[in-house]
Amino acid sequence: MNGLDNFSQEELARYARHFAIPEFGIAGQGKLKAARVLVIGAGGLGSPLLLYLAAAGVGHLGIVEFDRVDASNLQRQVLYRVSDIGKNKSEIAKTQLLALNPHISVETYNVALTRENAIELISKYDIVADGTDNFQTRYLVNDACVLCEKINVYASIFRFEGQVSVFNYPHKDGSRGPNYRDIFPEPPPPDLVPNCAEGGVLGVLPGIIGSLQASEVIKVITGIGEPLAGRLFLFDAAAFSSRILKFGKRPDTKIETLIDYDQFCGVHTSKPTDIKTIDPLELQQLLDTTESFSIIDVREPYEFGIGNLGGQLIPLGQIIENAEKIPNNQKVVLICRSGRRSAKAIRQLQEQYNMKNLFNLEGGLLAWRDAVDGGMEV
């Protein structure tokens, strides 16, 4: 009758330190066991987040993750090992979490979150924890949580800095707290903020921020403490400083349906009409011929050292000042990891020097790896 009968003897031993906290106790652990939490992304943030939620005894975890383990993930994504490279992240995560705590259930969704499936997936859970790394998905998660009336525990990381907040938190009067659009009504220009692959991230930062995110999830579930609703926690690992920004609801924030988030965030999914492209198979055919052409790699030197197709290394930030090194009498293929930076380089060169002989490797080296060389490190 006191709630102990909800736990096995093994669980009573496992959660003993929670039971010992007066404000937590059996009731708090019971709430964790009954909770359903959907984690979007099992990467840098998702790794510590999932590990701590599983260890704490959150009874039902869902994981939305379609990516595979890459060697470059291992610097910060502590769920994975060298032997996992090439394997699906969600399935590896499930195996690891159940090995850590066999008293929970884990359901995986090996798909990208889209406006077609977001409502269906999110509606099955009590709380969503957003560990994604792009603005399109962040706005999608936020809007779907608002429409489904779900709490969104948000975190993000970049280089040395991290953020944590709790969006759409229900108050006692039935109203909801501010959401992501109340503090970030518009996304930044797509070329202003690079992703982690392009901008980098300190390896330990996801562990710090992901643990704080897990703490907020646990607080929300148990009702203990004051969640970061209407507050944005900012952390700078380089300066070892933190601050909290308070924000409220914007009267002009209206979310009535899911939209085209690529278009909203200025991400062009179609080929730019002003940029000529070449796909990986076409490039492979070109490499197999005797036709004279050049490859310009616009990534950073450390990326080039991980894996490359040869050619000349001219990082994007130096492309204009080194334009004279690019031949103008033959086909030139510009490449980067995803095709974004090389497209930007081509646009700059076209605008500045009216160069007409440039081709962008469509999808970048990621597409090359998928279509031509599965063993290539990028």
Q: Active site residue: 145, 148, 196, 265, which one? A: 196
265 is catalytic: no
What's the pLDDT score for residue 280? 94
What's the pLDDT score for residue 331? 95
Q: Active site residue: 145, 148, 265, 336, which one? A: 336
**Domain 276-371 belongs to what architecture?**
3-Layer(aba) Sandwich (3.40)
Q: pLDDT, tens digit, for every residue of 277-317?
A: 999 999 999 999 988 999 999 988 878 888 899 999 999 98
Q: pLDDT, tens digit, for every residue of 182-212?
A: 999 988 866 556 666 667 899 999 999 999 9
Domains of the chain, by residue range, sit at: 35-264, 276-371
What's the pLDDT score for residue 295? 96
Q: pLDDT, tens digit, for every residue of 231-246?
A: 999 999 999 999 999 9
What's the pLDDT score for residue 126? 97
336 is catalytic: yes
What's the pLDDT score for residue 306? 83
**How much of the chain, in percent, has pLDDT values that exceed 90?**
79
What's the pLDDT score for residue 193? 62
Predicted model pTM:
0.78
Q: How confident is the chain (378 residues) per 10-residue block, as mean pLDDT?
A: 83 96 95 98 97 98 96 94 96 98 98 96 98 94 98 96 97 93 85 65 96 98 96 96 94 92 72 79 92 92 87 92 93 92 92 93 92 85
Could you write out the three-class secondary structure of the chain? Answer: CCCHHHCCHHHHHHCHHHHCCCCCHHHHHHHHHHCEEEEECCCCCHHHHHHHHHHHCCCEEEEECCCECCHHHHHCCCCCCHHHCCCEHHHHHHHHHHHHCCCCEEEEECCCCCCCCHHHHHCCCCEEEECCCCHHHHHHHHHHHHHHCCEEEEEEEEECEEEEEEECCECCCCCECCCHHHHCCCCCCCCCCCCHHHHCECCCHHHHHHHHHHHHHHHHHHCCCCCCECEEEEEECCCCEEEEEECCCCCCCCCCCCCCHHHHCCCCCCCCCCCEEECHHHHHHHHHCCCCEEEEECCCHHHHHHCCCCCEECCHHHCCCCHHHCCCCCEEEEECCCCHHHHHHHHHHHHHHCCCCEEEECCHHHHHHHHCCCCCCC
CATH value of 35-264 in 3.40.50.1110, 3.40.50.880, 1.10.340.30, 3.40.50.720: 3.40.50.720
What's the pLDDT score for residue 274? 75
Rounded CA separation 57/60 (Å): 9
